[in-house]
Amino acid sequence: MNNGILKKDDLLGKYRIEKEIGRGAVGVVYKAHDASIDRMVAIKTLLPELLQSDKKDELTLRFQQEARAAARCAHSNILTIYEFSEKEDIPFIAMEYVQGEELKKFLKDFIRFKIQDVVVITQQILAGLKFAHSKQVIHRDIKPANIILLKRKQIKITDFGIARIEDDSAEKLTESSAMVGTPNYMSPEQLNTQPLDNRTDLYSVGLILFELFSRAKTTKNRENKPRGYQLRDDIDLSKDWLKEFIPDEFVRVVYTALQKDLGQRYQNAAQFSAAILKGYKAYLIANEKIRNRQTAPSPIKDNTTTTPVTEVNSTSNHSSPPQSINWSPDILKKLELNLAQFIGPFAKVYVLQHSRLCRSIQKFIEALSNKIPDKKEKETFISIVTESCEGSIPDIVAASNEETSPTQTNAKEFDNSLLEDIEKKLAFFVGPIAKALVLKEINNSHSNSDLYRKLSSYIPIETERSAFLSGIGR
């Protein structure tokens, strides 16, 4: 290494440098390898030119404070700090290496986030801040550039370089009269160099929340504004103004988050988080009502022919309970084994599901074949099972309030529209496997709440589980 410039294969303590992965106004970040435990890490050092400047000692202390502040905050939504050290006159922080992009990049590229995305992202930011605040750590520089978005929308809060530890008795690196942070995401009290508490971070989250919804900044460039500049002087913050940018159900949330008066703002991260979830629930309910109005019920024409024996008696009372079919175990096994050749172990789940929905063997085979994506394989499956099940017409067992079939299980019958809605909401968090998970659990669930609980267990991130359960009305 030369004058603090690190190159591939240089050693900094026990860390072997692989490549530079980021650079800011003060520091540079490298991807490195810790051979002692075979782990990839991120190494943050001062910029080479600053290592030679008279600011080195102050910035080294700030590096050390960043490590101390972040080390207090061992949380899944905060980037983990491993150590602070100084080798060969280069101070550095070794921290968790993650593969993701700054939230700033998505906003800069005008990526439009779904409402669910906004909720999941902000819930995680607030979860991380709630933990940091409980450890007496105020970040003071919450902004999109310090939020890393990983796969499956997990986030990590980074850069505690100007964080303040409230119970720190050591000499403060920043005097009360100095303005620190990023002006475009500062609270009014931070811009005016007034005393700060956890609510300054929450204000910054409010700005990010607005920006995620609208893809528009709430403020103009403020770097050149005079010291006494008040944040909201460049816009008229009102609920009517906010409605131009964000969904109605979240207007009150953002409006409260961006209040100048600290007493009118959310007082802690938990309160802010609960308000967002309440807004999301209202949003889902409102949109469900709109969909219901737009999709008026209409007769469904079925042009396919079915075997007369398997049809419901047209002279029966329409108010009587629907009829179900007692499929023979032999037919179910044949269908499962043949379907499994094309889609694997989920065949059993689909067979069980459609055995309760289909009233003819033709419909049963057609429904199962739709689970096979390849057209030729689909045709092969239909040909095989049609031949093997030929002549196997099951008995119809009429369901009644007085009589229960001996083979009937205690599993609850779920409405198809409800299942489709749950599947869509679950898919947001777990992807296309949601359908299979829903089909699997409906056969083991005895109530809506039982089903919701079981499905939520497949979502690994706690804040996402909460968002899912809130979205379905739990």
Listing DSSP states for 454-467 in one string gives HHHTT--SHHHHHH
CA distance 459 to 463: 9
Residue 406 has pLDDT above 80, yes or no: no
Length of the chain in residues, anyone?
A: 474
Where does the pLDDT of residue 40 fall: very low under 50, low under 70, confident under 90, or very high at 90 and above? Answer: very high
- The average pLDDT across 416-440 equals 77
User: What pLDDT, in 10s, does the model give residues 312-322?
Assistant: 333 334 444 44
Angle at 20 between CA 19 and CA 23, to 5 degrees: 175
User: What pLDDT, in 10s, does the model give residues 102-113?
Assistant: 999 888 887 878
CA distance 261 to 276: 20
- The average pLDDT across 442-453 equals 82
Average pLDDT of the chain is 76
The least confident of 17-21, 269-273, 317-321, 463-467 is 317-321
Spatial strand order of the sheet with 155-157 comes to 101-102, 147-149, 155-157
- The average pLDDT across 125-153 equals 90
Predicted local distance difference test score (pLDDT) of residue 283: 87
Where does the pLDDT of residue 413 fall: very low under 50, low under 70, confident under 90, or very high at 90 and above? Answer: low
User: The domain 11-96: what is its CATH number?
Assistant: 3.30.200.20
Where residue 339 falls (left for φ over 0; alpha for ψ -120 to 50; beta otherwise) is alpha
- The average pLDDT across 181-186 equals 81
Between these two residues, 370 and 471, which has the higher pLDDT value? 370
Highest-confidence range of 2-16, 193-207, 340-354, 417-431, by mean pLDDT? 193-207
Residue range(s) occupied by CATH 1.10.510.10 in the chain: 101-291
3 state SS of 248: helix
CA distance 362 to 445: 28
Predicted local distance difference test score (pLDDT) of residue 162: 64
Residue 28 has pLDDT above 50, yes or no: yes
Predicted local distance difference test score (pLDDT) of residue 303: 45
Where does the pLDDT of residue 246 fall: very low under 50, low under 70, confident under 90, or very high at 90 and above? Answer: confident
Residue 164 has pLDDT above 90, yes or no: no
Predicted local distance difference test score (pLDDT) of residue 254: 93
Residue 89 has pLDDT above 70, yes or no: yes
Predicted local distance difference test score (pLDDT) of residue 321: 40
The one catalytic residue among 141, 159, 168, 374? 141
397: which 2 tokens? 């067992």
Residue 461 has pLDDT above 60, yes or no: yes
Residue 173 has pLDDT above 60, yes or no: no
Contact between 41 and 49 under an 8 Å Cβ cutoff? The reply is: no
Predicted local distance difference test score (pLDDT) of residue 157: 93
Contact between 79 and 158 under an 8 Å Cβ cutoff? The reply is: yes
Contact between 234 and 219 under an 8 Å Cβ cutoff? The reply is: yes
3 state SS of 171: coil
Predicted local distance difference test score (pLDDT) of residue 423: 83
Sequence-ordered list of residues with C-beta below 8 angstroms from that of 421, at least 6 positions apart, any chain: 288, 472
Q: In percent, how much of the chain has pLDDT > 90?
A: 22
Contact between 436 and 129 under an 8 Å Cβ cutoff? The reply is: no
Taking alpha carbons only, the member of 208, 209, 207 closest to residue 250 is 209
CA 400 from chain centre, in angstroms, equals: 44
- The average pLDDT across 162-190 equals 63
CA distance 168 to 147: 25
Residue 116 vs residues 150, 205, 284: alpha-carbon distances, Å: 16, 17, 10
Between these two residues, 38 and 428, which has the higher pLDDT value? 38
The least confident of 44-48, 207-211, 236-240 is 236-240
| 141 tagged catalytic | yes
- The average pLDDT across 410-438 equals 74
Residue 358 has pLDDT above 60, yes or no: yes
Between these two residues, 1 and 451, which has the higher pLDDT value? 451
Predicted local distance difference test score (pLDDT) of residue 179: 53
Taking alpha carbons only, the member of 348, 312, 311, 310 closest to residue 329 is 348
CATH topology for the 101-291 domain: Transferase(Phosphotransferase); domain 1 (1.10.510)
CA distance 125 to 127: 5
- The average pLDDT across 183-190 equals 86
Strands 324-326 vs 155-157: parallel, antiparallel or unpaired: unpaired
Residue range(s) occupied by CATH 3.30.200.20 in the chain: 11-96
Reduced DSSP (H G I as helix, E B as strand, rest coil) percent helix, strand, coil of the chain, to 5:
45, 15, 40
CA distance 140 to 195: 12
Residue 310 has pLDDT above 80, yes or no: no
